[in-house]
Structure 1
Amino acid sequence: MFQLYLVFIILFLIPICYLVINEIVKLLFENRLFKSLIPLDRSQKLTKEQVLSLAKIYIRKKHWLSCILMLEFYAKIDKSNLGEYYNSIGFCYQLINSNILAKDYYDQARASSPSNILFLKNLAKVYWLCNDLQASLSTYEQILELDPQNKIALQNIDKLIKKTKEVL
């Protein structure tokens, strides 16, 4: 009986240990990446990939303000990647339920790269969250013009048409 009890305890603890070790490895990797990306010398400039990796770490740790400030700083410095920076800032605002600010940044991202489907998809989603169904519908239609096989746009257009008919 005691051996059966030990077997059940071990079988229960193995998945828990795996999950804990997995999270510890993620934290160690993120901390190492974080320390390597923070430039010690003020003259060093991070690349776009490094900035976006650092933003992902800030987002995972829920350091919204640090992420937004860093991305806005690099958006002023690196004008060639404005769309990606504005899209990430919009994502931060969306995660903290500031959908109006998210909409503004997604709109700026779309203005910098009008044919980027990711920017359009995020903008359409935030329009939907702000109950601007017509703008969301037209944005999903823009996505379909660029990619006629986009499943997310097709599904959401059907949902939006049904929802606008209910409202009317």
Structure 2
Amino acid sequence: MFEIYLILVTCFLLPICFLITNNLIYIYHHLKSLKQITKKSMINIDNKDILYVAKIYINRKKWLDCITILEFYMKQIRINELIISAQYYNYIGLCYQSVNIYKIATKYYLKAYNKAPFIKQTLQNLANIYKLSNDTESANKIQNKLTNLNKNEDIYH
């Protein structure tokens, strides 16, 4: 009887240990990457590193930290890097959307759209925020643009 109890407890605890170990490995890799990034000069960090850090903050639901780092580095971007700034605006909009501040999220998604109107993720986020704000007319317009973009992409590929 005691053996059956031990087998049942082991079967229950093994998946939990697996999940905890996976999360610890995930956190370790993120911290290791952050440590490598911070060894660089904080002013001259690559945009891909900034976006990586922003994704980490988003995954950890650190919305204010993500917004702060993106706003700070957005001022460092050169004017010709429109796609990078569009990605920054998109992530900031995502942070505001996550805390249910839809009006400001819409503002940032529109800024991202104005910088680079061909990025699918921005169009999808903009359509979603319009749906959440009960603006179905604007959501349908953006959804049509996204559909046209997908059709054009299929034609050229």
* TM-score normalised by structure 2 residue count: 0.88
Match of 1:77, SS state, is coil
- Give the deviation of 1:39 after TM superposition: 4.5
Q: Distance in 2 between matches of 1:46 and 1:40?
A: 7
Q: How many residues align?
A: 149
- Give the deviation of 1:41 after TM superposition: 3.5
Aligned-residue sequence identity (percent) comes to: 34
Runs of 4+ in 1 over 4 A off after TM superposition: none
- 2:55 is aligned to 56
Letter in 2 for 1:107: L
Bigger RCO (CA 8 Å, 6+ sep): 2
Q: Distance in 1 between matches of 2:58 and 2:38?
A: 16
Which of 103, 108, 116 is equivalent to 2:111? 108
Which 5+ residue runs of structure 2 have no aligned equivalent?
none
Alpha-carbon spacing, 1:113–1:149, altered in 2? closer, same or farther (3 Å): closer
* TM-score normalised by structure 1 residue count: 0.83
Which of 90, 95, 100 is equivalent to 1:92? 95
- 2:147 is aligned to 144
- 1:32 is aligned to 32
- Give the deviation of 1:122 after TM superposition: 0.6
Which of 115, 118, 121 is equivalent to 1:118? 121
- Give the deviation of 1:105 after TM superposition: 0.4
- 1:67 is aligned to 66
| Greater mean deviation of Cα atoms: 73-82 or 121-130 | 73-82
Letter in 2 for 1:60: N
Please, what is the CA RMSD of the aligned residues?
1.7
Residues 118-148 of structure 1 deviation map (CA, whole Å, 9 limit, x = unaligned): 1111101001111111000000001111113
- Give the deviation of 1:62 after TM superposition: 2.1
